[in-house]
Amino acid sequence: MKSTTTKELEEKARGRLTKHNKIVMCGRYCYYAHRIMSEQFPKEYLSIIHDKMDKTKTSIPRLRVKSKSIVGTNLGLSLTGMLTHGHKAGGFGHFSLPFVHMGSQFTITSLAKCLRDLEDPQMDMYGDLLYESGISRNPLTNALLDTFIYSKYQGYKDDFISHGSSKSQNVDFKLLPTHFLLQWDNAASDNKNRYVFIFLSLLTALGVFITIEVGFLPVGHTHEDIDGTYGRMSSNLKIKDIYSLPEMMDT
């Protein structure tokens, strides 16, 4: 609009801008509707927004006063967050180290782990073993429980992926909602690729979900509620010195 030379061209550019903003808001309102559906009808809808935090904010050590002696020695941790509107605690976070491949493999693994935790009733049933002093399940406990749950439920595998099965109602297992509403940004290497969509297709083919709807906001307009969460976390990280991964996770 600033580069236009005539009033007519300026009005034409302004019209294109108005149309563009309306398209962006349509995408946002669609996501907001999905959030409300997930919160109001949790047995039918599951809405998840899945995104990564800027890893420069989660690298360790993270000091309030920068020291020249540690410049270039930071370990670049990456935090992937998920907001699960109306389900469980409302959010999950997965940390990964720099040598972990962060493409579609990590996206699929992270999403599968999130869904696994949402359907796992054991997460809320083991008291101090899982949540001692407010600390969530450690990796060893997690591995043991995964083995226990697999051995306990392996005979009901077909029933877990069949909604409404009479046998599945008799076991202590939480079925996922029937409709999955997933929100991502536009990173092709992580989200918009054949491998991720093959995984989503597999979830419907196995009957884990009846429908899966994936939303992408227009390029340059992908900041949403999860980024606001990251902003609050970033502010909290600025007021303390953090030297290790456990300290970063605890913060």
Q: For residues 96 and 50, which has the higher predicted lDDT (pLDDT)?
A: 50
Split into its structural domains, the chain has a count of 1
What's the first-to-final CA gap in the chain, in angstroms? 45
pLDDT digits (tens, 9 = 90+) for 136-174: 445 555 555 555 455 544 444 454 444 433 333 334 556
Residue with tokens 């899966």: 212
Distances (CA, A) of 119 to 18, 23, 138, 197: 43, 35, 18, 21
Q: In the structure, what pLDDT confidence band is assigned to residue 248 with cuts at 50, 70 and 90?
A: confident
- In a domain, residue 229? The reply is yes
DSSP class of residue 177 equals P
More confident residue, 191 or 56: 191
Top mean pLDDT of 29-38, 68-77, 182-191 is at 29-38
The answer to whether the beta carbons of residues 60 and 244 sit under 8 Å apart is yes
DSSP, residue by residue, 115-132? HHHHH-GGGGTSTHHHHG
Q: Which domain holds residue 107?
A: 42-120+174-250
Is residue 8 one of the residues assigned to a domain? Answer: no
Question: Does residue 209 sit within a domain?
Answer: yes
- Please state, in angstroms and rounded to a whole number, the distance separating the CA atoms of residues 129 and 142: 10
- Within-domain flag for 154: no
Q: Where are the alpha helices (DSSP H) in 72-212?
A: 104-119, 128-131, 139-153, 157-160, 194-205
DSSP state of 75: B
Better-predicted residue by pLDDT, 35 or 62: 35
Residue 172 Rama label (left phi>0; alpha psi -120 to 50; beta): beta
**27 part of a folded domain:** no
State the pLDDT at residue 127: 35
Does residue 134 lie within any of the structural domains?
Answer: no
Domain annotation covers residue 111: yes
Angstrom CA distances, 203 to 17, 54, 214, 245, stand at: 39, 29, 13, 33
CATH number at residue 201: 3.30.420
Q: What is the pLDDT of residue 166?
A: 36
Confirm whether 127 is domain-assigned. no
Confidence check: pLDDT of 43 > 80: yes
